[in-house]
Amino acid sequence: MTAVGQPLSRIDGRLKVTGRARYSGDVPVADALHAVIVHSRIAHGRTLSIDARAAERSPGVVAVFTHETMPRIGPAPWRWSPKHPTGQYHHPLQNDEIHYAGQPVALVVARSAVEAEFAGTLVDVVYEELPFRRFDDSAIADAVEVGTPQEDGRKVPARLYWETSSSVGSADTAIANAAVRIRQDYSTSDRHHNQMEPHHTLAVWGSDDCLTLYDTTQNVSGVQGLVAIVLDMAPERVRIVAPFLGGGFGGKAYVWPHTILAAVAARSLRQPVRLELSRAQMYSMAGHQPMTLQQVSLGADVDGRLVGIRHDSVSPTPPFEDYIEYAGNASRSLWAASGGIATHHRVARVHRNTPSPMRAPHEAVGLFALESAMDELAYETGIDPLALRLLNDTQIDPLSNRPFSTRRLDTCITEGARRFGWDRRRAEPRSMRDGQYLVGQGMAGAIYTAWRWPAQARVTLRSDGSALVESGMHDIGTGTYTVMRQVAADALGLAPDMVAVQLGDTRMPASHPAAGSATMSNAGASVLLASIAARDKAIALAISGRNAPFATASASEIIAGGGRLMPGSGAPGIGYADLLARNGLSSLVGEGDYKPVDEVKGPRAVFSFAAVFVEVRVDPDLGLVRLSRVTAMYDAGRTINPKTARSQAVGGIIWGAGQALLEKSEIDPLLGRFVNRNYSGYLVPSNADIPDLDIGFVGEFDSEASPTGAKGLGEVTGAGVAPAIANAVFHATGRRIRDLPITIEKLL
């Protein structure tokens, strides 16, 4: 094993910095038309009439589609579900109903993007405007569990991965009888993904009536499956290509309306159609993280041992969706509580577009509330926040009563504290200063689900002794090309530069979406299995093939290394190129089909863990918060590439800083639409906002999580940052901020 564990640089790096990496919007197709969406100006109602005559007469316009002229398509088979690629259940331009501001009401197709955009301004729409429902006290009072009877008496069929409610023991009774009780309300804001690369689809219909979509997606197999269903096509006649992605963060893991609109327009016009969303359109067309209102109740004895945890949450979702932000997920498994743990999630159906997972979905949102409450419990009991968490650590998952596969959260906490210098912290709020600045130090624990999804890969040994890895998985900017090369290289005994990797195409073996930090453990397992299969075929040839060099050896004696197969006897061995030539073969193919046990059914509970330590400086006159130090430690199983892993952690910490201090998507209460729909209005961290980061990994090989030994990393790195910052702000100022983001006006 010489490649796995090495800090290799990303093999796609040079392509990206030199502009040679081809994204969906870079694919050249002759005579491609350009489509532009015309959006609804109202949040609820219907279109009474649409006059497109002026637009149709505008220079360069080829067609204008409305709900009256757009060809009919089949319904999505599922409402929103983490198991399926449907991004929005409601198909636009299929009827006159308006469910949210920014919903497409027309599609203009022209020879150029400029001509399409101008013509779009000429489309005249008359609406019947109806009152729209906001996420206010009335909607919250009417919030329901998904799958429960609605106002009209119907029961919404739910395809949920987790139960909306969970209960172990008797949390309410334990909390009511506890010596120390904490009960507080917390809230988080609507946030948007704001990927650098806009959403883009290029739809091309071939002469064989097959469809190719060059799409900005984290899920080529999912797009293929859903598009085939709604267009009533055989899946093999739909090809999806996405070799590179300029940021996904969950928002590109699902099929949004623009992809289907582009495909239908291209089929109708029999000409390639390119549709790219503007930055503003991405706020109403491609998901967002919904705001949450949460209440956390903790009960503990006088020594700080938890006896009960209750975590309730409500979040908004559209009238036609089942999307839930599971803010209580982390509370189900992070800390032990002897009397019981209960969580409950409800949704308020309001007139806005469909939410979606956003790094880190569910856990990052809920951990702000849980870990803030734990900090409040620490002050209430007089116990150090670090000691409180170690006191309530557990090796048994409270929800399922299964042992954790590996859980080194205690090591994350103690090693992080040592590196951070936690023992030098003064416990009293407002007790630490640096000149004019108030200095605060806070910490938080974190947990994230380890998803188990099927994946397939193909590894081909080639006549020149090199290997090719192929799979429909994705590199969304996280280094997947590189780590898959490392896994295959070690399994085959090849140098890494002798392994090529091709990803992101449905002509390759199907894989799962690049989401939920699942790629290394699942897709990586399929690459490992395919590599072993190819190697074993080569070993079989070496034993029983033409002029077999190891005819007297057993397969278990033969090892691969240095690009050669070698018997245990110490003989010189044979290279793959010579072995294939000797047998008259141009290639040798190994297939990997990874079929893991569902994570809720395995013998052990699999999660990734983290501990985050933060120092802030707060200007007491301006209320301005600055990060000055961050130390973060992670248990994500075996680290395949320390360099790309550190990059993931850096990105996750930056995400958490944005969640804590800057990010909020503002909604106009009169118009029902997001208003700060660009980089100047939506604040994200810049280099000046982020200090040097101290990052470490303490995980060990986790065979339950994956044959590679790895667990998910990308999501957990963002999950505990916001509460650690909020706790540090309290330590600095004595002000407990329970509503994110922590902005200046909340501290003044």
Give the E-state strand segments of 291-426 in sequence order: 292-300, 306-317, 340-349
Terminal C-alpha separation, the chain: 56
Residue 664 to residue 191: CA distance in whole angstroms = 5
Question: In sequence order, what are the residues at sequence separation of 6 or more whose Cβ sits closer than 8 angstroms to the Cβ of residue 334?
Answer: 367, 370, 445, 446, 447
- The answer to whether the beta carbons of residues 539 and 555 sit under 8 Å apart is yes
In 3D, which of 11, 5, 21, 6 has the Cα closest to residue 499?
A: 11
What is the helix (H) or strand (E) element at residue 642, kind and residue range?
helix 642-661
Helix axes 363-381, 721-733, angle to 10 degrees: 30
State the catalytic residue, choosing from 236, 321, 715, 745: 715
Residue 507 to residue 591: CA distance in whole angstroms = 14
Q: Provide the token pair at 368.
A: 């702000």
In 3D, which of 728, 157, 236 has the Cα closest to residue 441?
A: 728
In 3D, which of 386, 432, 383 has the Cα closest to residue 409?
A: 386
Task: Looking at 239-323, list the stretches that DSSP marks H as alpha helix, in order from N- to C-terminal side.
Answer: 257-269, 282-285
- In which residue are the tokens 């969950």 written? 250
In 3D, which of 689, 698, 117, 127 has the Cα closest to residue 411?
A: 698
In 3D, which of 452, 454, 428, 457 has the Cα closest to residue 440?
A: 428
577 CB burial (10 A radius; 0-12, 13-18, 19+): middle
Report the greatest alpha carbon distance in the chain: 84
Residue 210 to residue 255: CA distance in whole angstroms = 19
Cα dihedral 245, 647, 660, 442 in deg (nearest 10): 160
Distances, alpha carbon 489 to alpha carbons 347, 440, 496, 561, 568, in Å: 47, 46, 5, 9, 20
Residue 582 to residue 547: CA distance in whole angstroms = 7
SS (HEC) of 534-603: HHHHHHHHHHHCCCCCCCCCCHHHCEEECCEEECCCCCCCEEHHHHHHHCCCCEEEEEEEECCCCCCCCC
If one counts every other C-beta atom within 10 angstroms of the C-beta of residue 310, the result is: 23
- Up-side HSE of residue 641: CA atoms within 13 Å toward CB? 25
Helix, strand, or coil (residue 442): strand
Q: Provide the token pair at 62.
A: 């080829």
Is 715 annotated as catalytic? yes
Q: What is the separation of C-alpha 306 from the centre of its chain, rounded to a whole number of angstroms?
A: 31
DSSP, res 734: S
Residue 117 to residue 36: CA distance in whole angstroms = 6
- The answer to whether the beta carbons of residues 465 and 437 sit under 8 Å apart is no
- The answer to whether the beta carbons of residues 481 and 465 sit under 8 Å apart is no
- The answer to whether the beta carbons of residues 486 and 650 sit under 8 Å apart is no
Instruction: Look up residue 254 and give its amino acid.
Output: Y
- Up-side HSE of residue 707: CA atoms within 13 Å toward CB? 22
- The answer to whether the beta carbons of residues 101 and 673 sit under 8 Å apart is yes
Catalytic residues: 715
